[in-house]
Amino acid sequence: MPRSSAVRFSHFIPSLLLLLAGLAAAYVKDLNVFFTSLFNVLPTLVLLLGGSYCAVYRRQRELFLMVTVYIAYFLLDTQTDYYRDNGKVREDAAVVFHLVCLLLPLLFGLFAAWQERTHLFQDMVARFAVLLAFGSVALGLEQSYPQALLMWLSEIRWPALHGAWMSLIQMSYPVFLSAFLLLAWQYWRNPRPLHAAQLVGLLGVFWMLPKTFILPFTLNIMCSQVMLMIAAAVAHEAYQMAFRDELTGLPGRRALNERMQRLGRNYVLAMSDVDHFKKFNDTHGHDVGDQVLRLVASKLSKISGGGRAYRYGGEEFALVFAGKTLEECMPHLEVIRESIASYNIQLRNQENRPQDDQQGRQRRGGSGASSVSVTVSIGVAERVEQRTPEDVLKSADQALYAAKGAGRNCVMAFGQNRRGAVRMDSAAG
């Protein structure tokens, strides 16, 4: 999965929008009957729909995250309902609230970082056992030693770290911080929409708890939003698996087919193929072959002139120029072809990989490592009257074969003869 700043930011967009929507709704005053009724049933509705969605796609980590948030909602909602109806809190409100403030971030961080690595049924049993163990111990202590437990929870253990602004028990702050750092590290190592949703969801929970008895329906709204973040992340990742190529990070064949249905009347399509890729793979191995495909994809993704690159399959890539003419696109295709041909790939021992980007640049600047280069052939076709996108793509594919027949490492338009191909003779193979 690509790790550019733009891609990383896109992981957070759905969750941040849901968080902002939840914050805005929580501060709305004088809600009418419709919204009051909606907020009362919204958490349960989200759990049923989102939980079923996660269960169908066997996303047990996400399912248990939602269940954990809902259990906290149920426990606190009982307290807030009593408070709204009677104007005072229940006798066990303090101990229940403090337990939730301690256990919710703990279990949220645990289930969020707990990846599925065993059989699905075994994983489900293990998660349920952990949830049951924490719940049973907490319930037993709350029922048997309520006052002693309350004193233990509310004790200020680090006076120097306690501030007047702290509205939660002191122990919950290091738990929240530890969970946040754990999830941030997890996202840094493996940027995914789910990991981004977990981080934003934890922030939403942290904001929600102090406002539980202060702002009406804060608990209902934010718990619903956090569960929606998790369900939306599952949908986001499902979309990426369907429409984005995992190796190169480019949009895949399905995304190309969808884009071709929305091209309008004027457009240019190009097909690109890595020259002698099978021979290169056999010589240097599939790991280096994958490195080459990622390099070519990275170069193609930066094409100028309004083009958009797609992974067509294997070593083939497609380029789409909407609203462009052939004459406008040819210079940009030639620039990207030359950029790929002039790039040297350093081959290093996999056991001696650089530890950071700076070390990698130093090694690339040295002479100790062997290097290879690859070239691409490009065929391009323009839409003409009474031609479908599929026909134009076939014409671009025919032009690609013509480019290979012309000596490779060149750009050839459909119907163009070999002499008219744009190529770099010294690098043609």
Residues that are catalytic: 315
Are 273 and 404 in contact by the 8 Å Cβ rule? The answer is: yes
C-alpha span between 316 and 398 (Å, rounded): 13
Query: Which residues are within 8 A (CB) of 100 and not within 5 positions of it... i.e. 6 or more apart?
Result: 72, 75, 76, 209
C-alpha span between 218 and 152 (Å, rounded): 27
For helices 193-208 and 60-86, what crossing angle results, to 10°?
20
C-alpha span between 177 and 69 (Å, rounded): 18
C-alpha span between 180 and 13 (Å, rounded): 18
Per-residue burial over 345-358, b = 16 or more CB atoms within 10 Å of its CB, e = otherwise = beeeeeeeeeeeee
Angle at alpha carbon of residue 286, lines to 280 and 289, rounded to 5°: 50
Query: DSSP alpha helices (H): ranges in 277-385?
Result: 277-284, 286-301, 326-341, 357-365
**Do the bridges between strand 267-274 and strand 376-382 make them parallel or antiparallel, or are there none, so unpaired?**
antiparallel
Task: Identify the DSSP state of 408.
Answer: S
C-alpha span between 44 and 11 (Å, rounded): 26
What type of residue is 250?
L
Q: Terminus-to-terminus CA distance in the chain, angstroms?
A: 31
Task: Identify the DSSP state of 244.
Answer: B
User: Is residue 32 packed enough to be buried (19+ CB in 10 Å), middle (13-18) or exposed (0-12)?
Assistant: exposed
Taking phi first (over 0 means left), then psi (-120 to 50 degrees means alpha), and beta for anything else, what does residue 325 get?
beta
Are 66 and 223 in contact by the 8 Å Cβ rule? The answer is: no
